[in-house]
Structure 1
Amino acid sequence: MADSWTFAVARDDLGQTTLVDGTIPAVADGEALLRVDRVGLTANNVTYAVLGDSMRYWQFFPPAVQGLGPQWGLPPLWGFAEVVASAVAGVEVGQRIYGYLPPAGHLVVRPDRVDASGFREASPHRAELPSPYNAYRATTGDPAYQRDQEDLLILFRPLFFTSFMLADQVADNDFYGAEALLVSSASSKTAYAAAFELHRRGPRLVGLTSPGNLAFTRSLGCYDEVVSYDDIDALDVVPTAYLDLSGAPSTRAALRRRLGDRLLRDIAVGLTNQTPNADAAEEVFFAPVQMRKRSNDWGRDGLDQRFTEAWQRFTAVVSGWLDVRVGTGPAALQHAWLDVLAGRTPPRVGHVVQL
């Protein structure tokens, strides 16, 4: 078996990157070794790095394990891996697994609660981290999995989980009594997946986007109206809830000037660029919180069923909205990171890297 490798970014300068060679780790009792196979890279992954300290994303894959100093961070990725060694009953060599992966050739996991659907990662350093990121799905036990849709799962599943839970929370709260829902960064995958879920279910749905993305965002058909950030002063002054996925202070300020007390709710939904927005917003949406509520309301199986049904509705249309750009090898991962970080990726493009 060939040696392994790791891609890392400087925690205080995300544009500074390194690729280092390493050795394939050994597997101890109770552990399994995953070979990272195919991953995606979107603005969501940049979000993990931007919030690496405050939301503990850097803790999932400690750089010291890869022989790197604490100034480096490993931005988490979503994708598929293959079990290449296992000392755990029920986790078999050759299994294909979907989940949260490091930008590296291999990952040692400590599987717990192993069943037909996959396992939970129970390594001590991840015990206190948000539980949705510790679930690893076996493709053979995943109702949402289809082999010919792997790239859609890689690029959209973690985003769609956020989108699905965001739309659910909005509906669960009777749309906050709003007549209009405003969604910023409306051309982003997380935004338009949430819009797909919310469209025609309640208030008028208005997407806010940059002038260059107006045509693409309107072509999606999941917003009632799409408005440029330059035209905020033309918005109807009606009771409005704002779902902020852009993190742009100027957009928030313009909306507050335009809508005044008609802005009923101002909710930060992560970031799609490097400007933190949580402090300026009135509240922050974090998908695992709504997931826990719905797990209690519906049971885990009920939540999985609803997610799968929504995912199947979404995948029936989203392939027409997306051009997958596939790279090969660690250098392609580095290139895709810098491309997404710099905002050079058009909204129609999704980066997938075969490793």
Structure 2
Amino acid sequence: MAASWTFAVARAELSRTTLVEWAVPELSDGETLLRVDRVGLTANNVTYAVLGESMRYWEFFPPGRHGLGGQWGLPPLWGFAEVVGSTVAGVEVGQRVYGYLPPAGHLVVRPSRVDASGFRDASVHRAELPSPYNGYRSTVGDPAYRADQEDLLILFRPLFFTSFMLADQIVDNDCYGATSLVFSSASSKTAYAAAVELRGRGARLVGLTSPGNLAFTRSLGCYDEVLPYDGIAALDPVPTAYLDLSGAPATRAALRRHLGDRLVRDIAVGLTNQIPNADAAGEVFFAPVQMRKRRLDWGRDGLDQRFADAWRRFADVAGEWVDVQLGTGPGALERAWLDVLAGVTPPRAGRVVQF
């Protein structure tokens, strides 16, 4: 058995971490071994941990398989892995894939629906979990993949998928009758990627951010206006849809006081801190729901192509908006986790870890 490592966090105290070694089991028929190669760490990964129980994110990578007790959790990451062992026809050693990965050196998967685009993990414990997280895309034949943009894909692709689907749902619903779309946490990657997709498509885009991020957010050029959180009173009292990516109760309360019945939609999109915002919002946006609708409307290939086209438009500008900070090894992963969790990572910084 080969030795590997795992990084885990205490479910009840996300700043408490551990690094452990474990033995990679021998492969059984129908299994493939992935070596985790390169991953990113963003506020999105903290969201997975914050919502680990309620949204079942802890269940993707059970700690018991890594020799850890149930008090520990493996926050899911996005990135690239290499096939280093396989008993499955069509999944070859050396194949490079992009997908949902544990904070560990290796992952055993059970590929199904294998084709030129990749495969899905059909492991029993993942059967009832949200299916979009179970796909592994081969870099060969992926219309969104470029070798020189791997770090952008690592940092932005899962966020951009949410942004792309959010923008699509808003346009699909004629902006809910709103003439203004207000984003909290406007300096976040998910927010400004959605703004790029929505710009010029029917509504005025307003970003709310902290005073320290005003200059950066304005420099992006994707919002029509950027205000600090204490500047909400300057918003025009027009029909407004609020896209809440911060989860800050004070921001929602201030918007409701100022806009009253002009606040026509209040949508919780995610978290960039640890204050759950779903209960207070009028509704919750969950990207896989809109994805399922569009797969029916457009088919899988049609959705993939529209995503790839949107990604290329975004990647052309996003490279100027992020400074990749590359770390090496499990220790760098732990440091990146603690920094992102504490909210001390500047908006221009993108944390990538190579193993």
Q: TM class, shorter-chain normalised?
A: over 0.9
Are 1:67 and 2:70 an aligned pair? no
Are 1:284 and 2:284 an aligned pair? yes
Give % identity. Answer: 80
Distance 1:305 1:65 in 2: 36
Are 1:235 and 2:235 an aligned pair? yes
Counterpart position of 1:112: 112
Of residues 69-78 and 16-25 in structure 1, the stretch that sits farther from structure 2 once superposed is 16-25
Provide TM-score, normalisation by structure 1.
0.99
Distance 2:160 2:25 in 1: 33
Counterpart position of 1:133: 133
Counterpart position of 2:307: 307
Counterpart position of 1:36: 36
Distance 1:284 1:341 in 2: 23
Distance 2:113 2:236 in 1: 51
Counterpart position of 1:155: 155
Distance 1:73 1:10 in 2: 6
Are 1:338 and 2:338 an aligned pair? yes
Tell me how far 1:3 sits from its aligned partner. Answer: 1.9
Paired residues of 2:326 and 2:351 also in contact (CA < 8 A): yes
Distance 1:171 1:272 in 2: 24
Distance 2:69 2:108 in 1: 19
SS at match of 2:246: coil
Tell me how far 1:23 sits from its aligned partner. Answer: 1.5
Counterpart position of 2:293: 293
Distance 1:328 1:263 in 2: 46
Distance 1:289 1:22 in 2: 36
SS at match of 2:54: coil
User: CA offsets, 1:152-175, max 9 Å, x none?
Assistant: 000000000000000000000000
Are 1:197 and 2:178 an aligned pair? no
Distance 2:100 2:27 in 1: 19
1:33 partner letter: L
Distance 1:240 1:45 in 2: 29
1:1-355 alignment runs, 5 A limit: 3-355=3-355
2:210 partner letter: S
Distance 1:2 1:317 in 2: 42
1:294 partner letter: R
Paired residues of 2:36 and 2:107 also in contact (CA < 8 A): yes
SS at match of 2:53: coil
Extract unaligned runs of 5+ from structure 2. Answer: none
Distance 1:338 1:2 in 2: 28
SS at match of 2:293: helix
Tell me how far 1:350 sits from its aligned partner. Answer: 0.3
CA RMSD of aligned residues (A): 0.7
SS at match of 1:29: coil
SS at match of 1:185: coil
Provide TM-score, normalisation by structure 2.
0.99
Distance 2:318 2:78 in 1: 18
Distance 1:153 1:303 in 2: 17
Residue correspondences, number: 355
SS at match of 1:304: helix
